Amino acid sequence: MSGEARVGSSEETELRAPGARGDDPGHDSRPVVANRDVLERRVGGEVLLLRRAGDHELQRLAGVTAATWLVLDRPALVADLVAEAVEVAAGVADPAVVESAVRGAVQVLLEADLIHRVVDEDDEVGR
């Protein structure tokens, strides 16, 4: 079908941060940054992504995962992301919940190969 792609088919993956999932990969000393080979569109509070490498799967981010993706066009330490999110959510959400959500989002993005840990200076440009 030309002119439109159906989203919601089996080839699309909706990624949401598992709120209770705060597993720390244990590499907090290295910043994370968005992979460059990703095509992106934003709509409302969502982000549509298509990673050119691998299976060219269309992915749809929402909520904390989308927000985390959007700030990772520049390298950032997970601890800094958490601190910023906790500040933004001050008085609205429990800091522990916010931290868990942000760390979960980073983990989801890493597993989907949408972001990576910076290994050297050449790598720090982001998308």
- Distance, CA of 105 to CA of 100 (rounded, Å): 9
User: CA–CA separation, 33 vs 4, rounded Å?
Assistant: 30
Segment interacting with other proteins (CB under 8 A) among 19-27, 41-49, 77-85, 116-124: 41-49
- CA–CA dist 49, 124 (Å, integer): 20
Which of 14, 23, 24, 37 is close enough to bind other proteins by CB under 8 A?
37
> Could you tell me the smallest distance in angstroms from the CB atom of residue 25 to other proteins?
24
**Could you give the CA distance from residue 64 to residue 108 in angstroms, rounded to a whole number?**
11
Q: Smallest distance from the beta carbon of 75 to other proteins, in angstroms? A: 15
Residues 6+ away with beta carbon under 8 Å from 49: 38, 39, 40, 58, 59, 60, 61, 69, 114
Tell me if 46 contacts other proteins by CB under 8 A. yes
> Which of 32, 58, 78, 98 touches other proteins (CB under 8 A)?
58
**Looking at 15, 17, 32, 38, which residue binds other proteins (CB under 8 A)?**
38
Q: Report the interface residues with other proteins, using CB under 8 A.
A: 1-7, 12, 36-44, 46, 48-50, 52, 56, 58, 60, 127
